[in-house]
Amino acid sequence: MTKFKRSILAAAVLATGGTGALVATSTATAEFSGNITIASDYELRGFSETGGDAAIQGGFDYGHSSGFYVGTWASNLAGDGDPDPSYELDLYAGFADELANGLGYDVGYVYYFYPDADLDVGFGEIYGELSYDMFYGGVKVVVNEESDQELFESGSAYYYAGLDVPFADVYSAGFMVGHQTFDGDADSYEHYHASLSRHTESMGTFSMNLAYADVSGEDVRAYVAWSLDF
């Protein structure tokens, strides 16, 4: 989704990093960059944020050679603003780099805004991720919230680990498992995500995705997506 998250469209060396995801190597050399995604669903941690409808998403980033980056990302949502939000706007900043031994890291803060919602649902997370070769893992913890919703309470955390495997030059396969905990009374759950991506030089990345949240009544979500970095 955003720079700090490992993307559902991530290539073997992810440039968008994380729930996607981000690979630290892109930030060290980048200056200004942008991205756009068109997907048949906006899936986040096993749940649809668009009610199963299509999503148009995109963002802009600035990365300094020191490893510092800052950016913004947005997507449409299922609501119409009255009272549920019709779009999400994320602002984030962090540091990412790769050490000489190949170990990458990405740490930062993101705030999720829902500007047109009649409900108070904004919240912020700190995040940290380590990556090595095709493997990665990290945690995201809610540290502040302006929400009356139990799920957004400070202390709620999402832990994840996965791998992205490139093959045949232009393909990559990925698998991730996550565990969501809540500081309130809501039950924790597991989240699983698998993807198959085809990367092209001029037309971006195409992917097929499957996601599942281990919550009563939730089914496997299947969706396709296309993304382009510029």
Mean pLDDT over the full length of the chain: 86
The reported pLDDT for the residue numbered 186 is: 83
Return d(Cα 176, Cα 160) in angstroms, integer: 7
Q: Is the dihedral of CA 57, 127, 13, 65 positive or negative?
A: positive
Looking at 9-13, 26-30, 94-98, 175-179, which range is the least confident one?
9-13
Q: Is 24-229 a CATH 2.40.160.40 domain?
A: yes
Q: DSSP string spanning the chain?
A: --TTSB-TT--TT-SS-B-----HHHHHH-SEEEEEEEES--EETTEESSTT--EEEEEEEEE-TTSEEEEEEEEE-S--SSSS-SEEEEEEEEEEEE-TTSEEEEEEEEEEE-TT-SS-EEEEEEEEEEEETTEEEEEEEEEEEEES-GGG-TT-EEEEEEEEEEETTTEEEEEEEEEEE-SSSSPPEEEEEEEEEEE-SSS-EEEEEEEEE-STTPPPEEEEEEEEE-
pLDDT score at 179: 97
Residue type, 152: F
Rounded Cα gap, residues 114 and 27, in angstroms:
27
Residue 172 has pLDDT above 80, yes or no: yes
CA distance 77 to 73: 13
pLDDT class of 118 with cuts at 50, 70, 90: confident
What pairs with residue 68 in β-bridges? 95
Average pLDDT over residues 76-87: 87
What's the CA gap between 18 and 52, in Å, rounded? 22
Report the C-alpha gap between 19 and 32 in whole angstroms: 22
pLDDT digits (tens, 9 = 90+) for 13-61: 222 333 333 333 344 456 999 999 999 999 999 999 999 999 999 999 9
Smallest CA-to-CA distance from 182 within 121, 145, 147, 141 is with: 141
Structure tokens at 27: 């930030």
Angle, vertex CA 20, rays to CA 120 and CA 72, nearest 5: 55
Which is it for the CA torsion 29, 96, 153, 19, positive or negative? positive
Q: What are the angstrom distances between the C-alpha of 101 and each of 68, 94, 97, 166?
A: 20, 21, 12, 20
| pLDDT at position 2 over 80 | no
45: left (phi over 0), alpha (psi -120 to 50) or beta: left
At 119, is the pLDDT very low, low, confident or very high (cuts 50, 70, 90)? confident
pLDDT in tens, 203-216: 999 999 999 999 98
